[in-house]
Amino acid sequence: MKHTITRRQFVKGLVASATAPSIISATALGKDGATPAGERITIGQIGCGKFGCKRHLSMLLAMRDVQVVAVCEVDRTRREDARAKVERAYSKNKPQRGCFATEDFRKLLARSDIDAVSIATPDHWHAIPVIKACKAGKDVYCEKPLTLTISEAQRCIKAVNKHQRVFQTGSQQRSSQEFRRAAELIRSGRLGDIQRITIGVGKPSRWCDLPEEETEPGLNWDMWLGQAPMRPYNPILSPRGVHTHFPAWRAYREYSGGAHSDIGAHHYDIAQWALDMDGSGPVEIIPPEQAGATKGVRYIYENGTEMIHGGPTGCEFFGANFYDWPQGAEMLGGLFRGHPWRSDGTWAVKIDEPKHPLCKAFGGKGFLIKEEIYRFRDPDSRSEHKAREKLRVLVSLDMTKQRNQLDRVPGENAIAWIREWGNGRVFYCSLGHNAEIFLDPKILQFYLDGIQYALGDLQADATPSAKLAEKPEPALCSEL
């Protein structure tokens, strides 16, 4: 017989109480806007630090169809703070005032009145609670990154499938409009075949070398360490008491993969999603050439797509369309030819037109910049020099400086330009591979002015540089 499954699909079965209460509250019956008790999902929160308490609990306590019944935290101060937060929330016409609190997640999982758990522990404490929660018949939400190691993740997936649990990890970016739209555009083929992706996130973790300090009273340090090697306490790993910052255990390999896996869990996931590779992954992983490098690892996919750790913050996709789509190349005015000036170098930049309205932010001065600089050529002639016959070049490399004169790179190399094309306007600037670039007020203002020009809100002459009757005197870089 067909029947409708409600939100209680989190629950495999309910055990009725042996004795009925003499008084049933209005909220338990679903009055006063509350969800009836039989339709509420009961939750246990495992890990009550900054994210577990300030984010997870706050959101769960605001949901009418959820009831938090237990919290687990190895630090007594944080545990009691989380318990008090739950009880305060449910004292305001909510169904329950008591909240079970424990330092041992196994005691929480043993409770039959819990449908699902939310896990916000350090990364090294993800896999075991996930697997045991599945065995205990609980559904699971677990913070990203899913686990500390690949083998742990495989065991978690096996446990979820074996015990037929509902499981989700924290990939919230997939619910954000901008990421969904980007993935749709890439999958639609608008960029052509994706040749390269850069993932701009922080560096990987290192082995922990923190000094010993007196252990925080009320902290079960052995339980905090869990599967990690035994070592003395340090508050950088587990801060003393309630805290409002993200602890730096993420910096150490025993407990986390560092920012590379922390924020990387978001951005690598978006890249996988956009490539439609959820069921697969790279076939080859190539470490950086330089020993000790903190970025540069390369992931090669079967179709030849290369994903690289590095570049501007977030995900940057490089397609083949400008090579296969003549109108696109003509609109931009230049085709990418390489980037011999890498982001680990410091290069001299000149302002080609110091008096141009869009260059006002530079104050008539060239400057040094730590950035990756692209090399361009004209789409039709294949020449680097003839690009100025179509473009109004505003900023370029200062080739009078020795540091820029690489043997294989002759001539001028534009960085930013404008042009009129069709019924519209084009502003292009290749600065921004290093995210810190946008902290420079002059660079940021230059971008804002360029956007205003492209929108038609800022008037500026776009006559191609080669066709100007009087050649402007450039402002060279003097910061050497």
Could you tell me the CA-to-CA distances from 156 to 137, 142, 151, 153, 220 in Å, in that order? Answer: 14, 11, 9, 5, 25
**93 has pLDDT over 70:** no
Residue ranges, comma separated, of all CATH 3.40.50.720 domains in the chain are: 25-170
Task: Assess whether pLDDT exceeds 70 at residue 94.
Answer: no
Q: In the predicted model, what is the mean pLDDT of the chain? A: 86
Q: Give the N- to C-terminal CA distance of the chain in Å, as an integer.
A: 81
Given a cut of 80, is residue 30 above it in pLDDT? no
Start and end residues for every CATH 3.30.360.10 domain found in the chain: 175-204+260-318
pLDDT at 14: 29
pLDDT value at position 366? 94
- Residues 6 or more apart from 293 whose CB is under 8 A from it? none
* pLDDT at residue 462 greater than cutoff 80: yes
d(CA 230, CA 227): 9
Closest CA to 370 of 435, 315, 416: 435
- Lowest-confidence segment of 18-32, 66-80, 159-173 by average pLDDT: 18-32
Could you give the CA distance from residue 142 to residue 283 in angstroms, rounded to a whole number? 27
The answer to whether residue 23 scores a pLDDT higher than 50 is no
d(CA 340, CA 65): 57
Q: State the Cα–Cα distance between residues 370 and 274, nearest whole angstrom.
A: 30
Model confidence at 411, in pLDDT bands (50, 70, 90)? low
| Superfamily, domain 332-467 | Class I glutamine amidotransferase (GATase) domain (3.40.50.880)
Q: How big is the chain, counted in residues?
A: 480
User: Does pLDDT of 15 surpass 50?
Assistant: no
**CATH code, residues 175-204+260-318:** 3.30.360.10
Residue 441: pLDDT above 80?
Answer: yes
pLDDT at 51 over 80: yes
Contacts 24+ apart (CB under 8 A), 425-430: 425/453, 425/454, 425/456, 425/462, 426/331, 426/332, 426/333, 426/454, 427/358, 427/451, 427/453, 427/454, 428/332, 428/333, 428/334, 429/395, 430/373, 430/374
Q: What is the dihedral of CA 165, 166, 168, 172, to 10 degrees?
A: 180
Mean pLDDT score, 208-215: 97
pLDDT of residue 439: 84
pLDDT band with cut points at 50, 70 and 90 for residue 19: very low
| DSSP string for residues in 392-415 | EEEEEE-TTSGGG--TT--S--EE
CA dihedral of 57, 63, 68, 71, whole degrees rounded to 10:
-10
Q: What is the pLDDT of residue 334?
A: 75
Residue of higher predicted confidence among 91 and 462: 462
Q: What is the mean pLDDT of residues 441-470?
A: 93
Quick one: pLDDT band at residue 324, thresholds 50, 70, 90?
Answer: low
State what percent of residues in the chain have pLDDT above 90: 60
Higher-pLDDT residue of 54 and 5 is 54
- Residue range 345-357: average pLDDT? 93
Work out the pLDDT band at 480, boundaries 50, 70, 90: low
Instruction: Answer whether residue 329 shows pLDDT above 90.
Output: no
88-108 mean pLDDT: 84
- % of the chain with per-residue pLDDT over 70: 86
- Assess whether pLDDT exceeds 90 at residue 20: no
Strand 139-142, strand 116-119: pairing: parallel
Interval 219-278: pLDDT, tens: 999 999 999 999 999 999 999 999 999 999 999 999 999 999 999 999 999 999 999 998
Q: Enter the DSSP assignment of 235.
A: T
Question: How far apart (Å, rounded) are the C-alpha atoms in residues 94 and 92?
Answer: 5
What is the token pair recorded at 72?
Answer: 């687990």
Task: Return all residues near 415 (Cβ < 8 A) that are at least 6 apart.
Answer: 349, 373, 374, 395, 396, 397, 429, 430, 431
| Beta bridge mates, 198 | 308, 316
- Residue 200 phi/psi, 5-degree rounding, is -90, 90
For residue 338, give every residue at least 6 positions away whose Cβ sits within 8 Å of its Cβ, in sequence order, or none: 374, 375
Does the structure show a pLDDT above 80 at 7? no
pLDDT in tens, 108-150: 999 999 999 999 999 999 999 999 999 999 999 999 999 999 9
Report the C-alpha gap between 61 and 67 in whole angstroms.
7
Bigger pLDDT: 226 or 32? 226
Domain with CATH 3.40.50.880 in the chain: 332-467
Mean pLDDT computed over 436-461? 92
Residue 422: is its pLDDT beyond 60?
yes
In the prediction, which pLDDT does 142 show?
Answer: 97
CATH number for the segment(s) 25-170: 3.40.50.720
Asked whether the predicted pLDDT for residue 321 surpasses 80, the reply is no
Question: Residue 169 and residue 456: Cα distance in Å, rounded?
Answer: 44
Q: Using only C-alpha atoms, what is the Rg of the chain?
A: 29
Q: Indicate the pLDDT class of residue 409, thresholds 50, 70 and 90.
A: low
> Is 0.75 surpassed by the pTM of this model?
no
Residues 6+ apart with CB under 8 A from 80: 101
Give the number of other Cβ atoms within 10 Å of residue 156's Cβ: 24
* Residues linked to residue 199 through DSSP beta bridges, in sequence order: 309, 315
